[in-house]
Chain A
Amino acid sequence: MKQLLVLSLALLASCAGARARDHVLMPLARQSWPDVRTDVERGVGDALAASEFTIADADAAIDEANWLEETLEAGQRLPLAGFDFEALLGPLAERGIQAQLAAGEVGPNGAEVLRRHLDLFRQTLSLIADRPTLVGTPADNPYVKKPVERRLEAKLR
């Protein structure tokens, strides 16, 4: 009986969590993304200008940004479980903010506002990605594909 109660509570908690992720966090991430994307694109441009990125690297970053945008638009929580924002897009967004600051397009305090917004997006994304299903892990989640795998598949198609 006690086990059943514990299981019911776990189920309830997971349902509430999923609801919060779909109805609160997903719209939050979706609506805060456009400003983050602006910074990501600026970061890509800056990396290209500094010859640290090739055109292929820039394409890969934009592909990843497009994939994230499509996933957020579609409200798909599951694929985000295996997505590592910090692998590419997070540092690019930071670089974009820094580039705007260096170019005098935004002041130091304005840049702090942009960083806070990026942090909000980061936190939201990590909350969405946290424990997406009651069973299963990102590793055995068939929906999860790394960007490099997706690009490879696209090339093979």
Chain B
Amino acid sequence: MIVQTTNDLVALIEGGLAETGRDLESSAFVVRQEVATQLSLLALAAGEPGYERAVRVAARSVALRAGISVTEDADAVDARLWGIVYAGLFFGARVAGGKA
């Protein structure tokens, strides 16, 4: 479950970045590893207090490693990718943690 969600999420990020001619800031391996680690932690954190903040912080870590800007003035592509990363982690971890 986590492996599948990780692969899907990294593919979505890579696809989104490729639309604007960009690559992942770190290597795909690093980003994939970060997504998998964060998903594993968040799957355990789902149902704990502070889950939303944990997801936001985790999504920021993933996005920054991938080279996605997370500032309020980020461009449309980055804003969309940020949304994908956040939602992917939020729901992916809940499903993986059996809290969907």
Contacts and interface: CB of A to CB of B under 8 A. Distances in A.
Interface residues of B, number: 24
Residue from B25, B41, B57, B61 having most chain A Cβ neighbours under 10 A? B57
Interface string A2-16: 000000000000000
Identify whether the interface residues of A are mostly helix, strand, loop, or mixed: helix
B51 A110 contact: yes
Interface of B: prevailing SS: helix
B6 to A, nearest CB: 16
Interface stretch (A78-86, A99-107, A132-140, A141-149): A99-107
B61 A107 contact: no
Interface of B: 25, 37-38, 41-42, 44-45, 48-51, 53-54, 56-58, 60-61, 64-65, 67, 69-71
10 contacts: A35-B57, A100-B50, A105-B50, A110-B51, A113-B42, A114-B54, A116-B37, A116-B41, A117-B61, A120-B64
